Amino acid sequence: MSWVSSFALDLVEALEMERGAQVVYTLCNGGQKDVQMSPLIFFERVITQLLKTFPELIIVPENLDRLSLQRFHAVKESPEAAYKILADILKMIDAKCQLEMKEMFLLIDRVDVVLMKENSQGRQRFVRALKQLITEYKSLRIIVTSQFTLEEMELAKEGKESVTEVWVDTSKPLAMYSRQ
């Protein structure tokens, strides 16, 4: 695991302690060594994390059509189908968080791993999906770690008011503190 991933996990812990917020995270370079990260695997991991964090979504009757087994089976090799399920889940969570006046944080660690493995067309579709996530949901805060700049990922063009870029000097030790 990279120091960035360690930092990301520390950030998750700090957010949970400080804000009492729901935090969902995906480590794009974590997990099994033989798994090649792709947009499809990324979306599947985020969906899994969201459903583990918000299991009550599955038992709400009006959500059953949007979360049907048929839709999940249709995903197979389709990042687009997985993204549509993810978007529906995030709409449900966004509505719930707005009612409860809470925020949810989605941490995407090392998104560059996904971007580097995609061809140009796949990269553009994935970046378009990230842009939608960043700009569409009012109670969702997205934290993305990457070795690329926002301009290189083409995330700075839209939703600029929704994006804050933070650089960490990796040549010096990094310390993170949290109140208890």
Mean pLDDT of the residues in the chain: 77
User: How high is the pLDDT of residue 81?
Assistant: 92
> What confidence tens digit (pLDDT) does each residue in 126-135 have?
888 888 887 8
DSSP 143: E
| pLDDT at res. 7 | 67
Provide the phi-psi class of 55: left if phi over 0, else alpha when psi is between -120 and 50, else beta. Answer: alpha
Confidence of residue 180 (pLDDT cuts 50, 70, 90): very low
Domains of the chain: 3-162 (3.40.50)
How much is the pTM? 0.78
Phi, psi torsion values for 104, nearest 5 degrees: -125, 135
Q: Which two tokens stand for residue 15?
A: 């957010």
Q: What pLDDT, on a 0 to 100 scale, did the predictor assign at position 175?
A: 53
pLDDT digits (tens, 9 = 90+) for 87-136: 999 999 999 888 988 888 888 888 888 888 888 888 888 888 888 887 88
Confidence of residue 179 (pLDDT cuts 50, 70, 90): very low
pLDDT at position 52, please?
A: 92
